[in-house]
Amino acid sequence: MEKFFFGVVFVIVVGALFFVGRIILKKRKKGHLGNLLGMSLFLIRLPKNERKLKEGETGKDFREKIGAVEQFYASFSGLTRKGWKKFIYGLPRITVEIANTIRQEEVGFYISVPKGIEAQVKKHLQGIYPEAEIDRCEKDYNPFVPQGESAGGYFVLRKDILLPLNTYVNLKIDPLAQITNTLSNIFPEEGVAVQLVIRPAHSKWNEKAKEAIKQLGEGKKFSDIKKGMDISSGLGSEFKKLVTMGNKEEEEKVQRVDEATLELVKNKSQKTLFEVNIRIIASSQDKMSVNRILDALVGAFGQYDLNQGNSLRFISLKKKPLKQMFYNFSLRFFDTKKTVVLNAEELASIFHLSIENLRTPKIKTLKTAKAPIPVELPDQGPVILGEATFREETKKVYFANDNDRRRHFYIIGQTGTGKTSLLKEMIRQDIEAGRGVGVVDPHGDLIEDTLSNIPLHRRDDVVLFEPFNTENPVGLNMLEYDTEEQKDFAVQEMVAIFQKLFPPEMIGPMFEHYMRNAMLALMADKDDPGTLVEIPRIFTDDLYMEERLAKVKDLVVRQFWEKEWKKTTGQTRSDMLGYVVSKVGRFVENAMMRNIIGQAHSGFNLSDIMDKGKIFLANLSKGQTGEVNSSLLGLILVSKCQMAAMRRGNISEDQRRDFYLYADEFQNFTTDSIPTILSEARKYRLNLILSHQFIAQLQDNIKDAVFGNVGSILSFRVGVEDGERLEKQFEPDFSRQDIINLPNYEAIIKLMINGQVSSSFRMKTTAPKIGDRAQIQAIKDISKLKYGRKKEEVEKDIARRAKLGSL
């Protein structure tokens, strides 16, 4: 009975142990699988071109940069698991990988880490590579060619693990260059990858290293030490020979060799040790191509062979072991049977980032760098421009306040890079906020999109100027004014406008002299000012000239008409008449332009628009208006805006309402007075947003005024020449290569924040809101009725004033 009882107990205990064992094995299997799947893969990219060195500054040697990577590996060595977690999940690990996958044709650097330490690993990496962009890979890369041939294997150490490999410290060039060049030298339909699975080394390796160093120091042979310690993996033939040496002379040689070996072991073990799997995979359409890739890659690892030290030996796998290795590769599984022990220096030699030293043409790099987001960037403001992202931080980009916007905003970028989209969204926000807005658009699309976003409560504020609306032309007379100062400014601006529109050889001092006196005579009657259309008449109709001269009080102007012009006769009079009238004639002879500039009073009052915060939209589409006509009208409008702003001088500053004038392709609409606008318009609350494509479009004085007076500067992608000029604005954070390689809708900006210019940073602009295009025509019709006049009425009035029928 007693035996039966003990037998039952034994069966129960064995059964329980078996059951518990099954649970533990199942848990371990599940734990290891969870450990494998609980990894995050990241692609690491650096800017291809580093910033330009300043005068007297020297670049870092590649050894110094690789040396910094050792710190990264050393920081990982402290990660471990204890107790049941270590038993269930095993040791924590990371993988570092270099791959060129099918149809990508670029070598990528990857790192896979446990999800629990993502932030820590990224922090360490970005401490070493502050300009790096570390992007999470939502989908793993695939080096295998479908229906193709694949091969692979792993590296082991030829000699004892305590002997080191050759490292970057002893090499003259970056050792990674040979590997990346090999990876880049494949065809588009091929794939290749190098994978290092890394985990902190077991303490036994450090203990054995310490013991070996101790015994070597006592004069023992390394081969005997190895046997006594039962360290796995064989020694090289040079050490095996030491065992057979018996005489005194040979023992002295052994002692010398052991001293060298002692130094090698110290070099290996004095730095943090890791257990590593080193795998390589190649894939192509046929075996010959696969072998070609694999042989070249294995050859690249030959540079790590160290004389009297260690080297790597490649084990090629076939059939079932190869399939298992592919499985381990895909799941980034650590295979304890394929372990090699490397220190941080050896690891850093095989995997690091140092793009400028590799000279490999096909590496996945950042086309443009990123810079830290200014800490002073506000969390809210009157207008949002987009958002900036740096590492884990993303912030909206706002103008801090209206005062910063009064320092003006300059935007530059090639066609299609995102300028118009940014302007659309800024304009929409200003209009919705109830601000006064003016838009001068030489293309037309910007106006159409703005009209589609006009809120219902602001439709009555819209003043639309479309020159090509010939049925209801809106008047625009540059020769009307309110004060004597405005009259002088208008005359000066009209002369400057003609100087801009015509080549220098066609506009000389005589033209300016005659044109100035003609305009001053026509402007003498403030209540009934003349127009540009009447300039030919004042030179050809003596009676009309006398009528206008009766209102002139300026003695210099009277003297010109009564003495100089009347005494000019014959061929000289005819030449001067043709010289002056021909410049105005091209606009007078155009029916569309004549019906606009020939009206004595403008259809809208820009001073009223600005003071009441209305919306002025000028659609100067070159395709419908003509390039020269568009330029003339734009120049007049910008000048009249400046006149209206300066008129605010008699209004207390706190009563001046901000007005935001957007000028796309602004180089077409600026004269030499733009420096004055940029420097003085701020105090009159005329805030400029100026946009164009390239710097060469600007005259030198305008260029200097823009870069000297504008508070905020934003650049989308530009050409090489502009990149060189803008580099000075955005250095040291960005180089010209960064600026000329920007993706569409991304920009580099230097922003005015609370009266101070921020450091440069990169941002992505906000996508413009899509409006209601069905409302556009209704808004146009309302504005046309309020500010336009019937074509027949306008033509009749112009014919009467200019006596066109009698010419």
Contact between residue 63 and residue 352 where contact means Cβ atoms under 8 Å apart: no
Half-sphere exposure of 727 toward its Cβ, with a 13 Å CA cutoff? 20
Domain membership of residue 3 (yes or no) is no
Q: Do 319 and 177 fall within a single domain?
A: yes
At 410 the pLDDT is 96
Domain membership of residue 720 (yes or no) is yes
Q: Do 510 and 577 fall within a single domain?
A: yes
Q: What's the pLDDT tens digit per position in 537-589?
A: 888 888 999 999 999 999 999 999 988 888 887 777 787 777 778 888 888 88
Domain edge (last residue) among 358, 380, 410: 358
At 613 the pLDDT is 95
Cis peptide before 382 (omega within 30 of 0): no
CATH number assigned to the domain comprising residue 37: 3.40.462
pLDDT at 90 over 70: no
Residue 650 tokens, joined: 């008699």
Provide the mean pLDDT of the chain: 84
At 82 the pLDDT is 47
Q: What's the pLDDT tens digit per position in 341-387?
A: 999 999 999 998 866 555 666 777 777 788 889 999 999 999 999 99
The values of phi and psi at residue 691, to 5°, are: -135, 140
pTM, full prediction: 0.77
Domain membership of residue 15 (yes or no) is no
Amino acid type, 72:
F
In angstroms, the Cα distances linking 234 to 72, 156, 166, 212, 226 are 31, 11, 19, 15, 9
Amino acid type, 465:
F
Q: Do 439 and 467 fall within a single domain?
A: yes
At 60 the pLDDT is 56
Q: Of 127-136, 360-369, 608-617, 666-675, where does the model show the most confidence?
A: 608-617
Q: Do 440 and 545 fall within a single domain?
A: no
Q: What's the pLDDT tens digit per position in 412-444?
A: 999 999 999 999 999 999 999 999 999 999 999
Q: What's the pLDDT tens digit per position in 5-37?
A: 666 666 666 565 555 555 544 544 444 444 555
Cis peptide before 732 (omega within 30 of 0): yes
In angstroms, the Cα distances linking 482 to 145, 488, 605, 650 are 78, 11, 11, 13
Mean pLDDT computed over 633-658: 87
Domain edge (last residue) among 331, 358, 385: 358
Across the chain, how many H-helices and E-strands are there?
Answer: 33, 22
pLDDT at 218 over 80: no
Q: Do 187 and 258 fall within a single domain?
A: no
Domain membership of residue 803 (yes or no) is no
Q: Do 788 and 685 fall within a single domain?
A: yes
Residue 556 tokens, joined: 């210099």
Domain membership of residue 725 (yes or no) is yes
Q: What's the pLDDT tens digit per position in 756-799?
A: 999 999 999 999 999 999 999 999 999 999 999 999 999 998 88
At 24 the pLDDT is 47
| DSSP character string of 288-351 | HHHHHHHHHHHHHGGGG--TTS--EEEEE--HHHHHHHHHHHHHT---GGG-EEEEHHHHHHHS
Q: 551, 627, 539: which is closest to 584 by C-alpha?
A: 539
Residue 296 tokens, joined: 């070249």
Mean pLDDT computed over 117-128: 83
Q: Do 452 and 486 fall within a single domain?
A: no
Q: What's the pLDDT tens digit per position in 697-722?
A: 998 888 988 998 899 999 999 999 99
Number of domains into which the chain is organized: 4
Q: Do 563 and 661 fall within a single domain?
A: no
At 388 the pLDDT is 95
Q: Do 65 and 175 fall within a single domain?
A: yes
Q: Do 100 and 240 fall within a single domain?
A: no
The boundaries of the domain holding residue 257 are 204-266
At 237 the pLDDT is 39
Domain membership of residue 696 (yes or no) is yes
For residue 728, name the pLDDT band (cuts at 50, 70, 90).
very high
Q: Do 464 and 481 fall within a single domain?
A: no
- Please enumerate in sequence order all residues whose Cβ is within 8 A of that of 139, keeping only pairs 6 or more positions apart, or say none: none
Domain edge (last residue) among 242, 266, 290: 266
CATH number assigned to the domain comprising residue 653: 3.40.50.300
CA-based max dimension of the chain: 151
For residue 393, name the pLDDT band (cuts at 50, 70, 90).
confident
Q: Do 458 and 411 fall within a single domain?
A: yes
